[in-house]
Structure 1
Amino acid sequence: METSPSGSPLLQVRGLAKQYGGGFGRAAPVRVLDDISFEVKRGEVVGLAGESGSGKTTIGRSILRLIEPSAGEILFDGSDIARLSAGDLRRQRRRMQYIFQDPFASLSPRMTIGEILSEGLAIQAIGTRRERLDKARAALQAVELPPDAVDRYAHEFSGGQRQRIGIARALILQPDLIVADEPVSALDVSIQAQIVNLLRDLQARLGLTMLFISHDLAVVEFIADRVIVLYLGRIMEIAPCDRLYEAPKHPYTRALLSAIPEPDPDRPRERQILKGDIPSVASPPSGCVFRTRCPHAIEACAREVPRLEEVEPGHFKACIRQDISA
């Protein structure tokens, strides 16, 4: 398991697993997460990256128990989220908030923006109605929207503005941890940069701890302090952001990074095309789940499940091949 080089962890995930189905008389269970372990320090932004189907969103939703994990521990400030009662979980969720991917589907069309933003405060029994609306106006200003937007409805705003409202909804409870689940993937490229800049500014200003989920490593590089790379429900690599982009250790990470466009035409990036398709989580490969697409796979990869091991200080990879050069 990865350990933080300095500072105390706010979030510790240990042996997290999630499966669907199975049981008496049913088909074999589908395991979508397997032995996920990592930590997030206070004030740190950790990027969670990988292709669609890698399990990123399942991790994010498990952390807030929006879905129930099948096994493992999720320690938030020392409390195991997976074992909290409903009442204790509601109180703990005041300190943990979620930014959803779709800015169109995540806002109720029947509620004013003021009602949407005040809802979490009302659930937590914070303030009077007037005080909650005042906090809603302040949250809108924090995300660079006019405070009078409290009286309008979601359909009156653009996609980028709606995502700002989603961010304001997450901030209004002054959480310690934010899970941002693909917060810019549904937006135009020009708007993506604005939202990522806003998140980075808010994180620095408010000292937020953030788990930033994205399939786009170019976006992750811009905001994250460390990066966790996932493939088919398992961690392939964890490293500080600068080390991961300068010297990736895992073949999967290298392939993902090679797909990022190089803006300098005099420095063309050698593209590493992965062969085949992503296997189904219903029938994953034996041994290393990446072996069917790995250019360096050997016979032993089909038998042995690689452990996540530290190869340099703070840099971890899950690969039995130690002879592959960076």
Structure 2
Amino acid sequence: MSAPAPYLTVRNLTKHFAPTAFSRGPVVKALQDISFDIPRGQVVGLVGESGSGKTTVGRSVLRLIEPTSGEIRFDGKDIVKLGAGDLRRQRRNMQYIFQDPFASLSPRMTIGQILTEGLDIQRIGNRAERRARAEKALAAVELPVDAYHRYAHEFSGGQRQRIGIARALTLEPEFIVADEPVSALDVSIQAQVINLLRDLQLRLGLTMLFISHDLAVVEYICDTVIVLYLGRIMEIAPAASLYARPQHPYTQALLSAIPSPDPAKRSKRQILKGDIPSPANPPSGCVFRTRCPYAIEACAGVVPELRETEAGHLKACIRDDIPA
């Protein structure tokens, strides 16, 4: 059986933030040569520490910020080359769920206005049809229809995030970037929202890039996982393979931090030395080498390429003798 065709294809994505008149300093190399695929109907997780570039990937993929270079194809169409009008039409098929459910909803707009704003911009339907779509989205995220006339401050954090999800659904997109969608919520609410997202993804056949620092959540919801560090990919693998046999030292350190209630399944915690370097002055060669317990002299002179070590499992490391 052949693998599903990629719905999203990213090749050599690079994003540099140059200094401006209001922000002097060196060029910030946020992303360097990022390449990956997301098959139609699958959820791909993007994980890494704060400052690794996860949100920059998500926003670049949707052109919420402009890539410095690279290719981004949705269903074969390179959106980097689209003009403003074509890009606006393309946005019907790709939406974003923001991390902060408090800051991402306007306090001056009713929930109905928030949900129908995208439909207005895209000129989809008349007023009654737009309201019907908004009410359908509210039902999909298990909120009452009377939420349509209320304001964001009347809802809890979990309910606000459900509204944010509903806003993404009103345009009936095929692709969604979920950027840390539960990190701002109480632990008791996180599971409810994650289960909702998983149910919607399966029921609607959505393709999704799921950004998170919580590897336990990623294991539950994602088919494939991409591990990012300082703007470069360290490892890509099916979720089952990555969690069972992590091959990159950075991935091993991240997974060792996942708490487990079963003492027999707890791995020895691997504490990374130092802090993540500045993307304005990344290390030469392998960007992880300054914190890697297995770094050798050659790591300073070679930028490791992603190479397949087993079917569907890729890592960016020049060493083959890293213990599992």
TM-score range, shorter chain: over 0.9
**Corresponding position of 2:274:** 276
Deviations 1:37-68 (A, max 9, x none): 00000000000000000000000000111100
**Corresponding position of 1:38:** 36
| Aligned equivalent of 1:234, options 228, 232, 235 | 232
| Aligned equivalent of 1:177, options 166, 175, 178 | 175
Q: Structure 1 residue 172: deviation in Å? A: 0.9
| Aligned equivalent of 1:257, options 244, 255, 258 | 255
* SS of residue paired to 1:94: helix
**Corresponding position of 1:12:** 9
Equivalent position amino acid for 1:11 in 2: L
**Corresponding position of 2:63:** 65
Q: Structure 1 residue 265: deviation in Å? A: 2.6
**Whole-angstrom CA distance in 2 between matches of 1:214 and 1:176:** 20
Deviations 1:122-171 (A, max 9, x none): 11111111111111111000000001110100000000000000000001
**Whole-angstrom CA distance in 2 between matches of 1:178 and 1:203:** 9
Deviations 1:101-140 (A, max 9, x none): 0000100111110110011111111111111111111100
Q: Structure 1 residue 27: deviation in Å? A: 4.8
**Whole-angstrom CA distance in 2 between matches of 1:276 and 1:61:** 28
**Corresponding position of 2:113:** 115
* SS of residue paired to 2:235: strand
**Whole-angstrom CA distance in 1 between matches of 2:127 and 2:28:** 46
Deviations 1:60-83 (A, max 9, x none): 000111100000000111111111
TM-score calculated relative to the size of structure 1: 0.96
TM-score calculated relative to the size of structure 2: 0.97
Alignment of 1:184-223 (within 5 A): 184-223=182-221
**Whole-angstrom CA distance in 2 between matches of 1:79 and 1:44:** 19
Q: Does 1:307 align with 2:268?
A: no
User: Taking every aligned residue pair, what percent have the same amino acid on both sides?
Assistant: 74
| Deviation >6 Å, runs of 4+ | none
**Corresponding position of 1:325:** 323
Q: Give the length in aligned residue pairs.
A: 321
Q: Structure 1 residue 266: deviation in Å? A: 3.6
Equivalent position amino acid for 2:258 in 1: I
Deviations 1:9-51 (A, max 9, x none): 110000000001169xx75422110000000000000000000
Q: Structure 1 residue 325: deviation in Å? A: 2.7
Which runs of 5 or more structure 1 residues have no equivalent in the other structure?
none
Equivalent position amino acid for 1:141 in 2: A
Equivalent position amino acid for 1:18 in 2: K
Q: Structure 1 residue 263: deviation in Å? A: 1.3
* SS of residue paired to 1:121: helix
Q: Structure 1 residue 200: deviation in Å? A: 0.3
Equivalent position amino acid for 2:80 in 1: A
**Corresponding position of 1:89:** 87
Q: Structure 1 residue 208: deviation in Å? A: 0.3
**Whole-angstrom CA distance in 2 between matches of 1:27 and 1:160:** 39
**Whole-angstrom CA distance in 1 between matches of 2:137 and 2:309:** 43
